[in-house]
Amino acid sequence: MLVGAVRHRLLTTYPRRLFSADASTKNALRVLLRETAQSVAVVTTILPTDASHFHGATLSSFTSIAMDPHPLVAFSLRIPSRMAAALQLGNPRSEHTPNMVVNILSSSQSTTAVHFSRPDLYPEPFRLSPHILSKEGIPILAGSLGALSCNLIQCISLHGLRPQNLSKEANEDVDAAESREDGVLSELFIARVLRVESLEGHEPAQRLPLLYHHRQYATAHPLESGQN
């Protein structure tokens, strides 16, 4: 009985320690990432329930993940969200038909990033952001550094991911720890780049990237010669 009681106590306290360590890691990662400059992008698409209405969202994470055998990009979205639903339901007509455009913002578009990140304040961001339409009728934001017409390849739930080859007991511990979390769920969206849109008439400020650094928008400039 004593051994059983000790084992039960260990199994019930381990998830708490695991969750506490995970929260500490999250905070440390957030602090570190604030020191790095992140590119800013807005994904746009057509609402599957109404082809005359568009939807867009500023991405908090965007990156290129592969060039071969196909160019792939990835970003994460919290769920549920209108953008996640629109991308998942808006199936392209073929594997070569885009169903989204990823607009990589330039340094002239900090207000655009805000408009598409705050639907509570800006419920109609396309009225505030000049845009043209791609061949498929998807908005391309004017003044962007570049725009990628893509189709969705796969969505991966980021809840319940496990290291490979975990024992059954370790999996149960992770399940218990995750059940204590705040309920925020995210999915990873992997998209294939089908076309890099041709954007003309760039002003000098539109040839510099919009970056997010230290919780504010910034841009990049070359270091002077001789600087380390």
Banded model confidence at residue 9, pLDDT cuts 50, 70, 90: very low
Task: Give CA–CA dist 110/88, Å, rounded.
Answer: 28
Residues 6+ apart with CB under 8 A from 32: none
What percentage of residues in the chain have a pLDDT greater than 90?
A: 56
Task: Give CA–CA dist 146/148, Å, rounded.
Answer: 7
pLDDT score, position 3? 45
Task: Give CA–CA dist 101/148, Å, rounded.
Answer: 5
Task: Give CA–CA dist 45/87, Å, rounded.
Answer: 7
- Per-residue pLDDT of 128-173, as tens digits, reads 999 999 999 999 999 999 999 999 999 999 887 777 776 666 555 5
- Per-residue pLDDT of 62-73, as tens digits, reads 999 999 999 999
Task: Give CA–CA dist 162/185, Å, rounded.
Answer: 15
What percentage of residues in the chain have a pLDDT greater than 70?
A: 76
Average pLDDT over residues 102-109: 96
pLDDT at residue 51 is higher than 70: no
Of the chain, the end-to-end C-alpha distance in Å amounts to: 65
Task: Give CA–CA dist 38/61, Å, rounded.
Answer: 8
Task: Give CA–CA dist 115/93, Å, rounded.
Answer: 30
Domain ranges in the chain?
1-36, 38-156+188-217
State the CATH class of domain 38-156+188-217: mainly beta
